[in-house]
Amino acid sequence: MNLIKRNDNIYPTFVDTRDPKYMLIDNKYVASLFVINYNREMEGGFLDRLISSNISFEMSIFYDKRNSFETLKSLTSYIGNAGSNLKMSSKNQIDIDLMNTSYENAKYIKKQIQVENDDIYFLNIYILTSADSLEELESNLQRIEGIAAGSGLATRRAIFRQELLFKCSLPILYNPNEIKNISKRNVLSSGIISTYPFLSNELCDDNGILIGVNALNNSIVMVDRFDSEKYKNANMCVIGASGSGKSYFMKLMIARNRLLNIEQYIIDPDREYIDICVELGGTYLNFGKENIINVMEIREIILDEDESFLQNKIQKLMAFFSIILPNLSDEEKSNLEEKIIECYKEKGITFDNNSLYSANENGKLLSKRKFKSSSEMPILEDLYNLIKKDVNMKKIAKLLKTYISGALNFMNNYTNVDLKNKLIVADIYNIEEQYLPMALFVIIEFYWDKIRENRGRKKIIYLDEVWRLIDRNEDTANFVFKIFKTIRKYGGAATAITQDINDFFSLNEGMYGKGILNNSSIKCIFQIEENDLKTLKDVISLSEIETYKALNLERGTCLMFAGRNHLLVKILASDYEHRFISTDRKDL
């Protein structure tokens, strides 16, 4: 530890105080202001705008506690005199209004001291700024005065008092009456918190990835969503209107997570992620054209206790069939489940998990367990052939035929997708709107199996336009909700991206939309419409200031809720990143 010795020179070389408007200290121009008045009511953090500016200045705040007994005596006397004067006053209306305001303020302060046990203080705020030139000094002073005025503060330059104000800025508790009496203001102890000058949240996780900068103070924002000590889960919900910058943000996160070797699985309904996938060497799946996923295939995953592979698959298949075969009766659902079980049995697959592992010619399991391949699984046509034989299931057979030999026959084949790449993007752009929920479900279920392969690897699934899955069908909404509730125990994170707030909260009085939000430790709100914000405000606790900020966000700026941190973040990308993630016409 280096201590300052008595012979160390800690004093300036010279101090020039001849000019009443500023001081010159070692070739630095120094000037001060003091706050002389405030709005009648000041919100918490009213100094934030000044603190968060990039102006070089020092601020000194003094609290001088007053004797409550003496204050009450003075207030009681003033209230009595003011009350009499108001009754007998013959002054004009403006003077009467001013007297009445002062009278009510005095009554309020007296009540707070007597009833709420508040203490009363004198408040003094001094601001000192320095610069290398007089022009820069004047610029700093004008900017401080402008920001202060916008925050409800009236300031006065310390002309002929520069030396006194300079001493007030030193850490020596110097606050002479000559200055104090000019700028003092009554403040109750309950209001002192509003003067606390460091309310701008900081967010800089040790192992986080760069998101951007705090829009208030330009501090770096870095988030490690997998930090289990800081966040209850690694899930994220991103909400914003079209063109607000949410896709730009998502692509930036994908690029930076790729550098950390995190597995990422993305659904691309609008063909927005092809460039970044190619640039980062990912696998791009053209679902329904070149690439096929067999919805009947069972894949090896980590099972919960007492769970079987077949049982797990049947639950997901029943959700899938509820999408493509809506409005089935309970009896029809029961018959369909029986046929599914029978279909797997014909392939030698039962509720016994060992039936999913290859055996030798004598039926004994191989010493080195090998999970059955894709070609050993049933396909939709196998199930369809069983269903059409049952006279009680003609309706289901008719509805299912389009997936066997009709326009959607790409669903009736074996999986030809290799998921070895750690970045997979599934393109469903060519799927017609009416079949999008089906396509979304098949891919999500496919990705979900991949996530459940290994608990030790970090992975993220991105559900773009997730509202399409949770606005109509309760079975599929429940499946998505389950992902958000349980993905943490598999070392994963889910990211929901949506622009349609009303549809997001449409099903079952918004239960699933609220569930996804409540199970997301990180929430990012980009530009949204006022009506959407009203809907969102019922779920996320937004202060009035945050509500105002959300309604006036610039493109590429979001209101981020990360654990207990609430901050305004400006998303930033490097020139290299910007080239392959921007969809702005001027950049294409």
CATH number for the domain that contains residue 311? 1.10.8.730
Q: List Cα–Cα distances, 234 to 202, 228, 287, 487, 523, in angstroms.
A: 19, 8, 28, 9, 11
User: In this structure, is residue 481 part of a structural domain?
Assistant: yes
Residue 6 Cα distances to 26, 172, 219, 323, 506, angstroms: 21, 18, 38, 82, 73
Contact by Cβ (8 Å): 505, 511: no
Is 492 found in the same domain as 346?
Answer: no
* 25 assigned to some structural domain: yes
Q: Where are the beta strands (DSSP E) in 263-302?
A: 263-268, 283-286
- Give 216's contacts (C-beta < 8 A, 6+ positions apart): 48, 49, 52, 200, 567, 568
Q: Are 23 and 17 in contact (CB under 8 A)?
A: yes
72 domain-assigned: no
The verdict on 59 and 154 lying in the same domain is yes
Q: Are residues 406 and 427 in the same domain?
A: no
Domain with residue 264: its CATH number is 3.40.50.300
38 and 134 co-located in one domain: yes
On whether both 427 and 530 belong to a single domain, the answer is yes
Claim to verify: residue 391 and residue 496 sit in the same structural domain: no
CATH number at residue 56: 3.30.70
pLDDT of residue 435: 86
**φ, ψ (nearest 5 deg) of residue 522:** -120, 125
Q: Single out the residue in 366, 381, 416 at which a domain terminates.
A: 416
Q: Tell me, what's the pLDDT at 2?
A: 45
Q: Are residues 460 and 344 in the same domain?
A: no
> Considering the domain boundaries, does residue 185 fall inside one?
yes
Separation of alpha carbons 394 and 392, rounded Å: 6
Q: How far apart are CA 588 and CA 577, in angstroms?
A: 14
pLDDT reported for residue 492 = 95
**Interval 142-187: pLDDT, tens:** 999 998 998 889 999 999 999 999 999 998 889 999 889 989 988 8
| pLDDT number for residue 52 | 67
User: In this structure, is residue 215 part of a structural domain?
Assistant: no
Give the strands of the sheet with 459-464, arranged side by side. Answer: 220-223, 209-214, 565-571, 557-562, 522-525, 236-239, 492-498, 459-464, 263-268, 423-427, 283-286
Residues 51 and 191 in one domain: yes
Distances in Å between the Cα of 575 and the Cα atoms of 245, 579, 581, 583 are 16, 6, 10, 14
Residue 319 lies in a domain: yes
Residues 35, 475: Cα–Cα separation, whole Å = 61
The segments of the chain whose pLDDT lies below 70 read: 1-10, 43-45, 52, 86-98, 197-202, 359-368, 585-588
Q: What is residue 68's predicted lDDT score, i.e. its pLDDT? A: 84
| pTM listed for this prediction | 0.68
End position of a domain, from candidates 172, 195, 218: 195
Strand 236-239 to 492-498 pairing: parallel
Question: Which run of H or of E encompasses 75?
Answer: helix 68-88
Residue 246 parent element (H or E): helix 246-259
What's the pLDDT score for residue 290?
A: 83
**Structure token digits, residue 252:** 């930036």
Residue 228 in any domain: the answer is no
Q: What is the pLDDT of residue 4?
A: 45
Tokens 């698959």 belong to which residue? 313
Domain assignment present for residue 568? The answer is: no
Q: Are residues 482 and 453 in the same domain?
A: yes
Q: Are residues 307 and 404 in the same domain?
A: yes
Tell the burial category of 267 from Cβ atoms under 10 Å away from its Cβ (0-12, 13-18, 19+).
buried
CA torsion 425-429-433-434 (nearest 10°) is: -60
Number of domains in the chain: 3
State the pLDDT at residue 519. 93
3-state secondary structure of 145: helix
Question: CB of 473 within 8 A of CB of 322?
Answer: yes
Q: What is the DSSP letter of 136?
A: H
Q: What is the pLDDT of residue 105?
A: 78
What pLDDT is stored for residue 538 in this prediction?
76
Unique residue bearing structure tokens 């000559």 = 178
Distance of alpha carbon 533 from alpha carbon 527, whole angstroms: 9
Together in a domain, 361 and 305: yes
Q: Identify how many contiguous H helices and E strands the chain contains and give both numbers.
A: 20, 18
Q: Specify whether 31 is located in the same domain as 149.
A: yes
Query: Beta strand pairing status for 15-16 and 492-498?
Result: unpaired
Residue 362 sits in which domain range? 295-416
Count how many residues are written for the chain. Answer: 588
Alpha-carbon distance of 455 to 491, in angstroms, equals: 5
- For β-strands 459-464 and 263-268, DSSP reports them as parallel
Q: Which of 391, 416, 441 is the last residue of a domain?
A: 416
